[in-house]
Amino acid sequence: MNHSRYLGLALPLILTTITTPLLGAVDTAVVGQLDDSSYIAGVAVGTIIFNTMYWLFGFLRVSTSGFAAQAHGTKNEDDLLRSLSRPLLLALGISACLVALQYPIKEQFLPLLTSDPAVKSLAIEYFAIRIWGVPFGLLNYVIIGWMMGLAMIKKTLFLQMYMNVTNIVLDILFVKVFSWGVAGVAAATLISEVSTFVIGLFIVWKAIPANQRKKIFQIKSIDLSSYKKMMRMNRDLFIRTLCLLIVFNVFTAKGGTFGTEILAANAILIQIHYIMAYMYDGFANASSILTGRAIGSNDKALYRSTIKRSFQWAIISSLSISSVYFIFKDRIHLLFTSLPEVLNVVGTYEAWIIIFPIVSSFGVVLHGIFVGATEASSLRNSMILALIVFLVSLYLATPGLGNHGLWLAFILFSTARSLFLILHVPKLSRTLGFHEVRYDGENKVFNN
């Protein structure tokens, strides 16, 4: 597999995944044009709550993609249907619990994230509307993950682009034209999630052959014993994501203690960080699909070349992303807010975002290798160790360095995440029995 074949899969996936953080980025940018920084902070706090819920159950997309890719590699139609039906049922159960528990979720999170009455009031307004989109958001994870696993790249790109464009248009309409403020931002995201689910469900239904559709509802597809491997992987991904969420929630809460303007500036920089991270996710998804295909078809050469390309493009992309941000950072910041006091604070801490791509690239890109192999224990263990690095660094650095210490702890966490995961790659190859193979030419099995 050469570079052009890898990029032929990765580049469309980058366009697909980059739309995910743009939902939060657009919300932040629209309210950033209002005349009070508390609007940015309110949406930032509200977004953290939903990021917590979505990220905590992000394994629905990740594991679905891995299992679907392997099933596609074996060309087993029953396994393909099970890779869709099982996580759909799981997503429905989880989302029902989250909606039912919305009041305690809101009451427990908000006091931890802000003590400002104005920010808290706006965050509550945002939460009360967006909570009803959670079931559709989680079901979208499953649908998109399944489509990615089958390399339905164009349709996945269309679905993600539709969600983002709809959110942007409705954000502008509700906030700029109707002056709905934070409620308008939340309503725009809710409508985009619901309508995306409807379209995605139609795409998936049409992708399944007519004579296979009834199998989705057969009891064999929902037999609890068949969930064992999926639930084991989901458990490890859940723990991994929980560690990640602890980092971001502690980061936001600690930043809030430095004042509203720093909280707003950190929110903008974190949104930029999300966009960078999800660009890497495109490479990770490409590596996940290729790894799943390689394992499903027992193609050792494809597996080896996928690891090689993953390492190479982690390096190339990190240098490219850092350079682009360094050149255009002032223009990028203006897209989020026009408030001079917030822009000044953003400029104070922008150097940390320049560093982020370089230290984090391997951790994000190689994540796809383990997902495609449906081996999540290494992801779990590396993230636990990285979390320990973050908490120790936070404790040591923030008393003397303030918000710079907070960003230092985050960068050290990202570095540790990459290093620990790199160390697990040889073990994965040995587990799969692929460690003795050397890639020696073009692979013709996987074509896109």
Kindly state the tokens that stand for 100: 């039912």
By C-alpha distance, which of 379, 331, 349, 448 is closest to 2? Answer: 448
Tokens 């997902």 found at = 371
Instruction: Give me the tens of pLDDT residue by residue for the chain, a chain 448 residues long.
Output: 677 778 887 887 777 666 666 666 677 777 776 767 777 778 877 877 887 788 778 788 878 888 888 888 777 777 788 888 888 988 999 999 999 998 888 887 777 676 678 888 888 898 999 999 999 999 999 999 899 888 888 898 899 889 888 988 998 899 888 888 888 989 999 999 999 999 999 999 988 887 777 766 664 545 555 567 777 888 898 898 889 888 987 998 888 888 888 888 898 898 888 888 878 888 888 888 888 888 887 888 888 888 899 889 999 999 999 999 999 999 999 888 888 888 999 999 999 999 999 999 888 888 889 988 888 888 999 999 999 999 999 999 999 999 999 999 999 999 999 999 999 888 888 877 775 444 334 333 333 3
Report residue 361: phi and psi, to 5°.
-55, -45
Domain boundaries, the chain: 3-432
pTM as predicted: 0.73
Is there a contact between 67 and 374 (Cβ–Cβ < 8 Å)? yes
Q: How far apart are CA 42 and CA 8, in angstroms?
A: 40
Q: What is the DSSP string of 175-226?
A: IIIS--THHHHHHHHHHHHHHHHHHHHHHHHHHS-GGGGGGGGSGGGG-GGG
Question: In terms of C-beta density within 10 A (0-12 exposed, 13-18 middle, 19 or more buried), how is residue 242 classed?
Answer: middle
DSSP 445: S
3-state SS string for 226-251: HHHHHHHHHHHHHHHHHHHHHHHHHH
Q: How far apart are CA 55 and CA 368, in angstroms?
A: 16
Which residues have CB under 8 Å from 372's CB, separation 6+? 65, 66, 69, 70, 287, 288, 289, 290, 291, 292, 293, 294, 295, 306
